[in-house]
Amino acid sequence: MPWNSNSNRKRKRKERPKIHPKNKYSDCPPDFALLASLYPSFQPFVFYSRNGRPAIDWTDFNATRELTRVLLLHDHGLNWWIPDGQLCPTVPNRSNYIHWIDDLLSSDIFPKTNTKGENVRGFDIGTGANCIYPLLGASLLGWSFVGSDMTDVALEWAERNVKDNPQISELIEIRRVKSGDDNLSVEDPHDGKSSYCESKEDLTQNADTEGKPLSSSFDLPADVDKRYHGSPILLGVVRDDEKFDFCMCNPPFFETIEEAGLNPKTSCGGTPEEMVCPGGEKAFITHIIEDSSILKHTFRWYTTMVGRKVNLKFLISKLWEVGVTIVKTTEFVQGQTCRWGLAWSFVPPARKISSLHVAEKNNLSFMLEGLQRQFSAIHILESIGSFFSTSGASCNLNASPFTVDITASHDHYKAIIKNEENHCDRAVSGEDVQDTSIISSCLNVPIKNLCFKISVFQQTPGTLLVRGSLKQADSQVSGAFSLILQRLEESLKHKFCRKKTTVNPS
């Protein structure tokens, strides 16, 4: 039988993450033609493409700035402007971030602390001249904000944008961050000790404060170019008696201004202070993590945007090292641009998450489709045995009925999960993201011995069914069993299944 005899069966393509359902533009994207007819200042930037649709030149900063201005005015009732060269935000994408934070605050992960109807309070790290997050958060949800920045231009225009909207101006405070010309003494609110940060010149010969690690269980790379050299981010900016529900950040994604200008398809402006720092976003966000490990419960949620998916795995590993209780990730999509959201907290969860989110089933299965031609069921069976035995679990392989009986202690179980977490290149976006809080909860479940059987069934050429059968009937054990099966599925697919070819849109 030909290998591709079953190729007529269409596989469901995984849908790309969409715009947040609460986003104003999820069902109704901006109508350029309508906006041009209502706002004469926008009309010169609109043209009609070959298919007759209205469009703008995304490489024209004046066009993108005017679009942002009219969207904020038309859809949010906000007066807004920024001078040439400042970072121009896209309204739909920034709205996605606001709505995601709203989801985090509304979830039942943590005990409710805001029971008296008190206003939600956020902190925007590097609010910029555009001040987009405080403006959107205040106008959409009535949140109050502190927006921080250090340059005179950013502070002046952020304050202008706040004052030009008197209906929400009382909700937003713009706070200056000292550029680092003076030494900084920061008091740890948890132990009362002061930590000393010595001023240095950074690699661009600008005098900035290099914050020495105050209390951290990890170090940045030894290369000084990869360390964060900038002004204070949270420590030294957040006051001792302050409490916030969340912080958010659109970090400097790039290491050089040349790297920041590599995308020829867009022009959103941006100053070196907004776009660039030594070590790029990886170093900047790592410094936020260091600050959060000291501030801890000062914020219910620490969040940041991430521009490169490859950095997520590194950052998540650092978060677990400093003792967070939960990590959340998401993907923000707007057109062809993808950004990722990373959130973490030190607040103890309200109850065990494993009992809420992990399937309580004794029999679980998954399909292996698109097996490479040289592999058969016996190869899969042997790989399953190796998967568990390398972690020390007891395995009894039965080649005739194609089954493996496994007995794993709690230590074996933890080794299975952690080994695969370190070695399996798992997706970190959309529905593929395994909520790492589930992993943490399951690892803390006391399990004496986990006994189960894995069976392999031939379906059609190139397709196998793998079924796991748990011998214990216990909800907590079921959660651990479910997580093991997910890890096994990821490992087998990575090793034996052909990778799908993806076509990048032009």
List of E strands, 411-470: 449-460, 463-470
Quick one: which of 325, 246, 235 has its CA closest to 287? 235
What is the rounded distance in angstroms from the CA atom of residue 114 to the CA atom of residue 32? 40
User: Is 164 annotated as contributing to ligand binding?
Assistant: no
User: Is 208 annotated as contributing to ligand binding?
Assistant: no
User: Is 165 annotated as contributing to ligand binding?
Assistant: no
Residue 271, both tokens: 């100053």
What is the rounded distance in angstroms from the CA atom of residue 265 to the CA atom of residue 381? 49
- Size of the chain, expressed as the number of residues it contains: 506
Query: pLDDT averaged over consecutive 10-residue blocks of the chain (506 residues)?
Result: 41 59 89 96 94 92 96 96 91 94 89 66 96 97 96 96 97 89 38 33 30 37 52 93 96 64 50 66 93 96 92 92 92 76 89 40 81 86 92 86 88 71 39 44 58 83 84 67 85 81 40
Quick one: which of 153, 26, 128, 156 has its CA closest to 145? 128
* pLDDT for 374: 84
Domains of the chain by start residue, with CATH:
133-345 (3.40.50.150), 354-496 (3.30.310.80)
Quick one: which of 455, 362, 451 has its CA closest to 404? 455
* pLDDT for 60: 92
User: Is 225 annotated as contributing to ligand binding?
Assistant: no
* pLDDT for 134: 98
* pLDDT for 400: 73
* pLDDT for 360: 46
* pLDDT for 73: 97
What is the rounded distance in angstroms from the CA atom of residue 249 to the CA atom of residue 252? 9
* pLDDT for 350: 65
* pLDDT for 503: 40
Task: Kindly give, in sequence order, each residue whose CB lies less than 8 Å from that of residue 245, ignoring residues fewer than 6 positions away.
Answer: 105, 114, 120, 121, 122, 299, 300, 301
* pLDDT for 443: 47
* pLDDT for 12: 46
Residue 65, both tokens: 């700035």
> Taking a C-beta distance cutoff of 8 angstroms, is the pair 312, 260 a contact?
no
* pLDDT for 148: 96
Would the CA dihedral through 28, 33, 38, 41 be positive or negative?
Answer: positive
> Taking a C-beta distance cutoff of 8 angstroms, is the pair 433, 427 a contact?
yes
